[in-house]
Amino acid sequence: MKVLRHIPALVLFLVAAVFLNYFLPDRDIVKIVGTEVIRFDVKEDDLLKDLNQEAANRGVNRTRDVRLINTQRANGRPMVYRNEDTGWGWPPYFKFDSDNVFTQAKAFEREPEQWVAVRHYGWRIEMFSLYPNATSMKPVDGPDVRLIPWLNIVIIGLLLGLWFMIWRVIRRFKERRIDPVADRIGDEIGDAARGVGDSVSAGTTQARGVFRKWFGTTKR
């Protein structure tokens, strides 16, 4: 039962870990080997937004152009990033300079020996044609440069502090409001159980006396 009690907390922790792993920024040190623009079909749920509602009702297929940045890691494995603005929406990176990022990538493409730290969020899932979104990039000295994720440390620290404050508030509420009521109910149930037990004991004693009296009469 103790293990089952911790399952909700474990599930919540896993969900939070996956959420932060996807949306928190990460940096890869790569070489930029090419840039391109490819065309994707817009999903139906995207068509049902704003001005595309009428086109969706008519069954019109729409497409959008996506800028890709092709790179290569130090171990030789390829890595592809998309380059799209986030605007004022989610996640709150407030990226409006995708043109500048694409221009930087084109410049680094002409320097095949230059290592670049690409800041991004998201996952690369080839099966679903998903690409992490590159938010910025800067040149670095080599593939072994150590980059400390200060922003992630600050965000996770703030989230842990917020979680601790919420935990303290819930614990104090439990100690002040729930525990006294639970103790009072427990005491009342215990008193009732003891009363029932005393009644049963008294009844048992009386029955035992009656039986002994009857047995003595029968014996005589």
Phi and psi, residue 135, nearest 5° = -100, -30
- Decide if 19 is inside a domain: yes
Question: Looking at residue 175, what DSSP letter applies?
Answer: I
In this structure, the number of other CB atoms found within 10 A of the CB of residue 46 comes to 13
Tokens of 115: 């290592």
Helix (H, G, I), strand (E, B) or coil at 29: strand
- Decide if 88 is inside a domain: yes
Helix (H) or strand (E) holding 100: helix 98-109
Model confidence band, residue 192 (pLDDT cutoffs 50, 70, 90): low
- pLDDT digits over 33-47, tens only? 999 988 877 655 544
Q: Bridge partners of 138?
A: 117
**Residue 199 and residue 16: Cα distance in Å, rounded?**
55
In this structure, the number of other CB atoms found within 10 A of the CB of residue 35 comes to 19
Model confidence band, residue 213 (pLDDT cutoffs 50, 70, 90): low
Q: How many domains does the chain have?
A: 1
- Decide if 175 is inside a domain: no
- Decide if 161 is inside a domain: no
What's this model's pTM, rounded to 2 decimal places?
0.70
- Decide if 165 is inside a domain: no
Instruction: Determine the structural domain holding residue 71 and report its residue range.
Output: 2-147
- Decide if 7 is inside a domain: yes
- pLDDT digits over 91-116, tens only? 899 999 999 999 999 999 999 899 99
- Decide if 211 is inside a domain: no
**Residue 40 and residue 124: Cα distance in Å, rounded?**
16
Angstrom CA distances, 27 to 89, 102, 120, 145, stand at 22, 17, 6, 11
**Residue 44 and residue 55: Cα distance in Å, rounded?**
10
Q: Could you tell me if 68 and 36 are in contact, meaning their C-beta atoms sit under 8 angstroms apart?
A: yes
